[in-house]
Structure 1
Amino acid sequence: MKRFFWQPVVAATVAIVASSSAIAGEQPLYQPVPEWVDEVDISDVLAKGASSSDALVSVDQNVKLEGGQGWIYRDLVLRASSSEVLSQIGRLQGAWHPDLGDFIVHEVHIIRDGEVIDVLASGNKFEILRREAGLEQLQVDGILTAFMQLEGLRIGDLVRMKASTTILDPALEGHVQFTDALLAEPVRAQFGRFQLIWPKSDDIQWRVTGKDAEHALERRDDYQVLNINVPIPKQPENAPDAPARYANLSMVEATSFKDWKSVSQTAAKLYQTADLITEGSELDREVQRIAASSDDPLQRTAAALRLVQDKVRYLFNGLNGGNYTPQSPEETWNLRYGDCKAKTLLLLTLLDRLGIDARAALVHSTLADAIPDRLPSFGTFDHIIVKASIDGRTYWLDGTKTGDRLADIGDTPPFRYALPLDLAGAELESIPLLPMSRPIENISIAIDASAGINFPAPYDISIVLRGPAVDQLSTIKNTVSVEQYEELLQSFIMRYTGDQASVTRSEAVLDGEAGTASITGSGLATMSWSFADNRRRYSVDNYIGNTKLLRNRTKTEWKEIPYAMSYPGYYVRNFEMILPAAGKGFEFQGLAEVSDVIAGYEQARKTSLDDGKVTVSEYWRTARWEVPADEVKAERAKLLKFQSPKLRILTPEDYPPAWLETRQAAESNGFAEIIAAYEADIALHPDKSRPYENFAGFYQGTYQYRKAAEQLLLALEQEENAKTYVQLASLYATVEDKRALESAKRALELDPSSVRALAAVTEILAMDGQIDEALEVLDAARGNGIEPDDITHAESEVLMQDGQYEEAIAIMDELISSKPNDHKLLNNRCWNKGRAKLYLESALKDCTKAIQLSRSPSAILDSRALVHFQLGQYDEALLDLDTALDISPSLPAALYLRGLVHARMGNDQKSEADISAAEFIVPTIAKEYAKFGIMIR
């Protein structure tokens, strides 16, 4: 179902078909402009638009439908208004189907300063290129392309080309049809016209679609002429999620078919099945095999469909008149490929031999419910399937799909309307929506979080796919290396486990009998627990909680338009998690049980929380084609009810913070399974840096800094990079390892433009008392691509470490003067003033403003608490620290400072607990504070 067009620069989509034999050729013809064409006087056009610089000067299209032939004439004038346009219009081209018509060149002129240069007069001809532009989309359409390179073209020149394409398809038995998009603003032209011409004696239906498209029908001798001014006005924006019938189209249609019944009758002649299988042929043996396998007509139908889908690959074939005419079933079987027409005729023939009542049916892949608003023609459709009737039920069978099995053949196709083909004629038929039988995607995830919520958790995952994804996976497996295939499976698994997950095992099993692909895997998943109201929360709300439907529409004219549903859609997800502490004190928030049709989709959920294990089962399935506008308000309210609040797992209020859970897990050997999973990942990918980096991240997150450093060293053996060296320097600095400076310097050497590497080098030098060397490094960094403000910021920290507090704060003043609302700079100045015990009242103002500007203020609250501490305002400091630790319970600076505050307030037991926690997280933290005179006493 292809459409053909001539396309010099401005694209148009045209389909014209007719009945008798065409005079078609493999070479362009060179002929005068046809007498029936009302030519444009370009001199008048240029005179009226003398001051114009538009690239499109004139576009004139004349389409004549007569005697069963369609003739498309175009006169296009373009201006080389810029070098970009010059390169585009310097290569003229035209495309046509040599089996169905001709490409005829009338004139090619260059107009320069009023002089007309006849390009063809000097002997220039178009060259021919047979191209299959759709080959990657499995289409061999047979279209030829003629092209001409214009030599010596200059900016300011006008290029005028007059050419025609004729087309005649014997499949339509004397009927003609035409469809073309109309140019619309903001495209501009000095002159634009479209004319559709046909004999007055012919019964042609026509329609112009487009808001405010000016058109008029006139009589010209014995012809009717439809005139349309182009470009038509800019068309209204389409409503989001609207059914196809509400799309704002700008197009012209014409057809000689009087109704859908006549289209059905004509097309049906192409799909007659009698005597198309030779007795004793291989295809005949396939029919006998299916017949012998079962007496059940439904099972026979499923077997025939599977044969067509799985044994014949898809390839559109437009050669030898194949635009509408299918190749024979035996040819299709012998070639083992065919397009929708060929596969449909093959399936019809098989079903006929098997005693199944079936006929072909025309559909469109995207027009859906807009089909009844179109004029009756073959060109309204772009696909063909089979309608079968078995025991009083209708089955729509698509031979171009893959993986349909007995359980699936009753599923509804996504086309909404079909035109069954019958020699007696048939009318358009709406297709009722039936819920899909099997999921497109069925996911099961099991996570073992028994070690704690703050650590990576071992997981197992199973993903069962059906439909096109199965064929894609099979194709990929057979075309890429084993390593590439493994990487693809791992990346696919991480779509469901998160980018921070590791995959230590992956496998895919293709099940031909079931028509499925099963992907399984194992690894470690990073848990994303949020914090609010003194409790950690983990979202387990998948389909229902994340359904974003029935979007608000902003324009009044859209208010009465229904919302179209996504189809096909059927997804299942089963989730389970083993909780820490046998699940004691854990509970659900949100609706645990749901079963309803919500906003056009059937959605259901079941949950349980027993014996320390959470289970959540959900599915989401399209239940309606659309939601009427008058139901939208109620459906939104229903959806909001199910989504507020989202389904989450809540920890007990007294659940231990990360640092304490880490210490408890370390003492009880709770990390054994996690460590084994990281080691398995490394064993699978010993030459990759990623698994070592992931393992280092685990050790760092559990405060095992030396072990983390060991893994980073192994990662750097595989691949050196500045980011990893900076991380290594930080680890070494935390445990006072002299290799910190060496690592930071290597990072800066690898990436002199790295702000983090520069800050690491200079801060480590400064903390070691090497102030002059730190300042020299900063000076050397200027001009290496680092922003001056970043260098200045680093200089401030160096001066702070050297005790030059006034100078350091003055530098921060300068930075903030140009960025007064930068909460990070404000926090840094507040922190510096607090450490230096200078300008404390203004420091409070800095921190308070920064808190107001920040979305995550825990570190800023800690800075303000330090200022309160230095002022002796211990109650205020304690309030800020408690708030900071409510947000970030394992923030070491806040824990340490709260320990100091408790000590000053005489709460020795609380002080010891907080300081112990802080030193567990950062062993050197007391030393860092003591440098600024901040100590217990």
Structure 2
Amino acid sequence: MLYEPAPKWVEVRDAAKIDTSSSTALTLLDVQQRIEGDTLKVYVDQAYKLGSPEALTQGGTSTASWMPDKGDLTVHRVEILRGGKVIDVLKGGARYQVLRRERGLEQRQIDGLLTATLAIPGLQVGDVLRIAYSQTTRDKALQGRVQIDMPLLTLPVEAGFARSSVSWPEGVAVKWQAGPAAGAPVETVKDGWHTVNVVLPLAKREEMPAGVPSRFTRQPTLEATTFASWDEVSRVFAPLYSTKDAIPAGSPLAAEVAKIAAASPDPLTRAALATRLVQDQVSYLLNGMAGGNYVPQAPAETWTSRYGDCKAKSLLLLSLLEALGIKAEAVTVNSRSGDAVPDSLPMPAAFDHVIVRAEIAGTTYWLDGTATGTRLATLADVPPFRHALPIRAEGAPLMAIAPRVPQQPSGVVKMTIDQRAGIDIPALVTATTTFQGMLGSNLGAALAQASAEQKKQIIDGFAQSMFGVLSSNGGLVTEGDMTFDAETGTATATVKGIVTTQFTSRDGTKRLDLSGLSSANEAFEFDRSRASWKALPVDLGAARRMREEVEVLLPVDEPGFKLGGRPDYEATYAGMTVTRKGVLEGQRLVVTEEHASLGGELPAAEIPAEKAKALRLKNTIPFLTAPLTAARAWRYQSPALKPRLVPVEEAYAKAIAREPVAEQATALVARAGLRAGTYDLTGALADYDKVIAIAPDAASYMRRGYLKRQLGRVDEAIADLREALKLSPSVDSALTLADTLGYAGKSEEALKLLAEYDDMGDEHSSVVQVRSDVLGYAGKGTDGLKEIDALIEEKPGDTSLLNASCWYRARFRVGTEGMMDVCNQAVERASNASAVLDSRAMAGIASGNLVAALADAEAALKIAPGQVSTQYLRAWIGNALGKPEAKADLAYFRKVMPGLVADYARYGLK
């Protein structure tokens, strides 16, 4: 490391012109570059204000890095500017300590950089630290050419004075450009030197919308190159990728060639085997030392050391292919922003990766030795690099990489949704996903190194991604496994679990929408509303292909399910072709979808039309409609239906046992939900006993209290509800407890509690209705009705209060003279028809008009067949009218819902 004054060619900024009083952290950034022959000289002069203790800590150590095999690092000044004075740190004897620090070891990269560090002595808060240094770079691999690709400072980063410039001898052919959005660089010729100067910082880049190709979001740079063309770049690098004598006869590599040749005479198979050999048998390691940034190590060395970077692996693969009689060449690509390469000047810095291009039987294959999992089935897959530069002795222009839909899906998803227990019962799900190519290989590598607990975490994460499209809570995992087949490069993940029923209420029916299909979640939302965005295309990504299969199993003894939507459908939008086939045979529905896309870009003008196509595709999703006779959850304690629950109960038992006892609460709550929904109230109560023993919280006490009330154990319910209110004081908890206290005859305590929690806010209406019930339980139904009627006067637009009045009058037999008028108004203005029809049915019973009451109950059940209170009303009315089947229903209700029967007995329905 050298210490010298600044070179004479540099225009040094006077210290007096540096504004040390400004609050701007970066007070100076002066970058001057000069091309002299085959050498690039870079001068950097920067000054930072250390305006806080944090800034002093962060900026108090100076670091600089350079490649010693390509040039020198020379320090010109390290100064502290304080109160108009300049303190020369180097003059005081301070010197940098030179280290070798490999910053990319975790990414398997060794670049040979040297790093110099200096802890600046004597720094104080408020100082300005000024450091100037220069570097020289001469890269033999470029054969006398020079390239510059310098990022440009852009707002909102501010600077007191900042510029970036490049200069070269007049008459030397140099191409340069600055951008995007680099303002107006100044180009001058003076004293035999050509100079381009860019004033910084540049204006803040306009915000870009989502989905634009990378060339629209790339950082502004100052580029300069002495390469005349892409052809010249290609020619310069050609000697580095010569395969002459790369595999000597009798060498270990020659033996590998012989093995591949003996394995198959087919060129495609040979290419696949050669690619696999390089991918699997040579680990990745970037060795950028001794000129290695552009120079690949020899194939023999790569094979012996069993490591290499993209250059080394590509040269090895190229040598193998040519030895096997396959035409191939090395090509360089940009792996991160390949669409932006044509916008760059011709220079190697436009690329960051090397792969191999092979031609077999007239088809081009793009083979990446640093990828993983390439097999014969995926050999033809095209990487998403967009552009490539072939490396040839005669030179070559840029080449577009034509996309190609993969021959095989990279992912195949198969999902079985088992609803055989019934439409109201949670579904058992089995999801299997198979990954090929790099996805499969990477997953296989992860599995090979995973512990049992890590593997479980991987399985759980995969399950949540799969089950999440079926259930908002993600469901429960019962078991799972992941395997990898090295021969095919295929990883398979299989998980089993439980999700909520896939049938939802829709217009009085129960319907299952195939929401697990990708097309059910398609969205093509790209905003180009700003005037400056209207010409920006959408990046459609890489070419891809995937396949899905969804199987739905239905109850074997319930015919009548109907298939709707568009089970057979084909559509294309935004370059994606979706092909769907579906068939319902007996009690089994199978729907398959294949998605295939070339990727690429979509012009902005086509976004609205493609968005409409995506929406139409989403609207065609197949669905199943259940027959009205399908069994409902409230009947599942009957001998005919209870056996259906056995597989579901077994699955919950597995999900619970899969977790440590301390973490079983979630699964126990889920099973309690199934049991409560199917009126196994004792079983649900047992689950909540376990939940509260593990992790007591207000919600669990509330739910257990509700179950106890349903079982008629009112005093025990009150104890749980008191605990819930204690743990989480809230209006909802107070209302539930007050209602139960009133039901138990503790009206004074209930009314006191309601008064305490009535803040006259949004919850006031609910408080009044519970208070009315408490009064009704206490035999003061007239007083309770007055409170409800007062609410109706206060909120005439709240139609739910009419229903509350109808329901109250019918239950407590007060205000009966105007009851039916109120109930009729409630029905006419109802937003929830099933609830108000239930209320009017109760009013019909109170009025003695059982025929009208039965008609209302039947009408309510057509809208909401699972409305259990209405089912009970219908059974009670039917029994009163002498219908024989109703007596059995009443006996069932008495057995499984004693709390509900007791409630209605209090209302006069003995």
Q: TM class, shorter-chain normalised?
A: 0.7 to 0.9
Report the Cα offset of residue 339 of structure 1.
Answer: 1.7
CA 1:83–1:455 in 2, change beyond 3 Å: closer, same or farther?
farther
Amino acid at match of 1:315: L
Amino acid at match of 1:556: A
Correspondence list, 1:70-85, <5 A: 70-81=40-51, 85=55
Q: Quote the residue 1:696 is aligned against.
A: 672
Q: Deviations over 1:34-59 (max 9, x none)?
A: 22221223533529xx6x53333332
Amino acid at match of 2:201: P
Mean CA deviation greater in 768-777 or 414-423? 768-777
Q: Quote the residue 1:12 is aligned against.
A: none
CA 1:926–1:74 in 2, change beyond 3 Å: closer, same or farther?
farther
Report the Cα offset of residue 617 of structure 1.
Answer: 0.5
Q: Quote the residue 1:511 is aligned against.
A: 485
Q: Quote the residue 1:259 is aligned against.
A: 229
Q: Quote the residue 1:713 is aligned against.
A: 689
CA 1:251–1:886 in 2, change beyond 3 Å: closer, same or farther?
farther
CA 1:152–1:697 in 2, change beyond 3 Å: closer, same or farther?
farther
Q: Distance in 2 between matches of 1:877 and 1:263?
A: 90
Q: How many residues align?
A: 895
Aligned residue for 1:109, secondary structure, equals: strand
Report the Cα offset of residue 747 of structure 1.
Answer: 5.9
Report the Cα offset of residue 577 of structure 1.
Answer: 1.0
CA 1:637–1:121 in 2, change beyond 3 Å: closer, same or farther?
same
Report the Cα offset of residue 913 of structure 1.
Answer: 10
Aligned residue for 1:400, secondary structure, equals: coil
Q: Does 1:604 align with 2:579?
A: yes
CA 1:164–1:735 in 2, change beyond 3 Å: closer, same or farther?
farther
Amino acid at match of 1:642: L
Amino acid at match of 1:357: K
Report the Cα offset of residue 761 of structure 1.
Answer: 6.4
Report the Cα offset of residue 125 of structure 1.
Answer: 3.7
Amino acid at match of 2:6: V
Q: Does 1:369 align with 2:339?
A: yes
Q: Quote the residue 1:584 is aligned against.
A: 559
Correspondence list, 1:848-867, <5 A: none
Q: Quote the residue 2:284 is aligned against.
A: 314
Q: Distance in 1 between matches of 2:690 and 2:579?
A: 47
Report the Cα offset of residue 830 of structure 1.
Answer: 11
Mean CA deviation greater in 597-606 or 732-741? 732-741
Report the Cα offset of residue 380 of structure 1.
Answer: 0.3
Q: Distance in 2 between matches of 1:827 and 1:863?
A: 10
Q: Is contact 2:296-2:311 (8 Å) kept?
A: yes
Q: Is contact 2:372-2:442 (8 Å) kept?
A: no
Q: Distance in 2 between matches of 1:342 and 1:271?
A: 9
CA 1:318–1:813 in 2, change beyond 3 Å: closer, same or farther?
farther
**TM-score, length-scaled by structure 1:** 0.82
Q: Is contact 1:448-1:458 (8 Å) kept?
A: yes
Q: Quote the residue 1:481 is aligned against.
A: 451
Mean CA deviation greater in 693-702 or 224-233? 693-702
Aligned residue for 1:670, secondary structure, equals: helix
Q: Does 1:548 align with 2:518?
A: no
Q: Quote the residue 1:615 is aligned against.
A: 590
Q: Is contact 1:205-1:255 (8 Å) kept?
A: yes
CA 1:582–1:910 in 2, change beyond 3 Å: closer, same or farther?
closer
CA 1:426–1:702 in 2, change beyond 3 Å: closer, same or farther?
same
Report the Cα offset of residue 773 of structure 1.
Answer: 7.6
CA 1:608–1:103 in 2, change beyond 3 Å: closer, same or farther?
same
Report the Cα offset of residue 622 of structure 1.
Answer: 1.1
Q: Is contact 1:209-1:250 (8 Å) kept?
A: yes
Q: Distance in 1 between matches of 2:790 and 2:346?
A: 74
Q: Quote the residue 1:168 is aligned against.
A: 138
Report the Cα offset of residue 476 of structure 1.
Answer: 3.0
CA 1:177–1:664 in 2, change beyond 3 Å: closer, same or farther?
farther
Aligned residue for 2:245, secondary structure, equals: coil
Q: Quote the residue 1:4 is aligned against.
A: none
Q: Quote the residue 2:204 is aligned against.
A: 234
Q: Does 1:890 align with 2:866?
A: yes
Q: Distance in 2 between matches of 1:807 and 1:35?
A: 101
Q: Deviations over 1:648-699 (max 9, x none)?
A: 22223x2447345645686452222222323344454464514434332321
Unmatched 5+ stretches in structure 1: 1-27
Q: Quote the residue 1:625 is aligned against.
A: 600
| Equivalent residue in structure 1 for 2:390, among 420, 433, 443 | 420
Q: Deviations over 1:289-325 (max 9, x none)?
A: 1122122222111110011112222233323332222
Report the Cα offset of residue 347 of structure 1.
Answer: 0.6
Aligned residue for 1:54, secondary structure, equals: coil
CA 1:562–1:763 in 2, change beyond 3 Å: closer, same or farther?
same
Q: Deviations over 1:237-292 (max 9, x none)?
A: 33432334444652221111110111111112211122233544433322221122
Q: Distance in 1 between matches of 2:684 and 2:494?
A: 30
Q: Deviations over 1:399-427 (max 9, x none)?
A: 11111111211121211111110111111
Unmatched 5+ stretches in structure 2: none
Q: Deviations over 1:61-92 (max 9, x none)?
A: 21222232223322223334455545543443
| Equivalent residue in structure 1 for 2:6, among 24, 29, 33 | 33
Mean CA deviation greater in 757-766 or 180-189? 757-766
Aligned residue for 1:187, secondary structure, equals: coil
Q: Is contact 1:834-1:863 (8 Å) kept?
A: no
Q: Distance in 2 between matches of 1:345 and 1:567?
A: 26
CA 1:926–1:356 in 2, change beyond 3 Å: closer, same or farther?
same
Q: Does 1:523 align with 2:497?
A: yes
CA 1:666–1:867 in 2, change beyond 3 Å: closer, same or farther?
closer
Amino acid at match of 2:10: V
Q: Quote the residue 1:433 is aligned against.
A: 403
Q: Is contact 1:539-1:647 (8 Å) kept?
A: yes
Q: Does 1:467 align with 2:437?
A: yes
Q: Is contact 1:895-1:917 (8 Å) kept?
A: no
| Equivalent residue in structure 2 for 1:594, among 569, 574, 583 | 569
Q: Quote the residue 1:211 is aligned against.
A: 181
Q: Is contact 1:264-1:420 (8 Å) kept?
A: yes
Q: Percent identical across equivalent pairs?
A: 33
Q: Deviations over 1:117-158 (max 9, x none)?
A: 333343334445544443333433343444444566555433
Aligned residue for 1:263, secondary structure, equals: helix
Q: Quote the residue 2:706 is aligned against.
A: 730
Q: Distance in 2 between matches of 1:576 and 1:117?
A: 78
Q: Is contact 2:213-2:537 (8 Å) kept?
A: yes
Amino acid at match of 1:458: L
Q: Deviations over 1:368-426 (max 9, x none)?
A: 23212211111000111001122222111011111111121112121111111011111
CA 1:630–1:118 in 2, change beyond 3 Å: closer, same or farther?
same
Q: Distance in 1 between matches of 2:151 and 2:836?
A: 62
Correspondence list, 1:15-30, <5 A: 28-30=1-3
CA 1:189–1:905 in 2, change beyond 3 Å: closer, same or farther?
farther
Q: Is contact 1:60-1:194 (8 Å) kept?
A: yes
Q: Distance in 1 between matches of 2:803 and 2:108?
A: 60
Q: Deviations over 1:172-204 (max 9, x none)?
A: 121111112222223332322111122223211
Q: Is contact 1:884-1:894 (8 Å) kept?
A: yes
Q: Is contact 2:422-2:631 (8 Å) kept?
A: no
**TM-score, length-scaled by structure 2:** 0.85
| Equivalent residue in structure 2 for 1:289, among 259, 262, 267 | 259
CA 1:647–1:796 in 2, change beyond 3 Å: closer, same or farther?
closer
Q: Distance in 2 between matches of 1:813 and 1:94?
A: 81
Q: Distance in 2 between matches of 1:323 and 1:160?
A: 31
Amino acid at match of 1:576: E
Q: Deviations over 1:4-61 (max 9, x none)?
A: xxxxxxxxxxxxxxxxxxxxxxxx54332222221223533529xx6x5333333222
Amino acid at match of 1:78: Y
Q: Quote the residue 2:463 is aligned against.
A: 493
Amino acid at match of 2:105: L
Q: Distance in 1 between matches of 2:237 and 2:342?
A: 18
Aligned residue for 2:415, secondary structure, equals: strand
Report the Cα offset of residue 220 of structure 1.
Answer: 3.0
CA 1:333–1:911 in 2, change beyond 3 Å: closer, same or farther?
same
Q: Quote the residue 1:10 is aligned against.
A: none
Q: Quote the residue 1:23 is aligned against.
A: none
Q: Is contact 2:328-2:358 (8 Å) kept?
A: yes
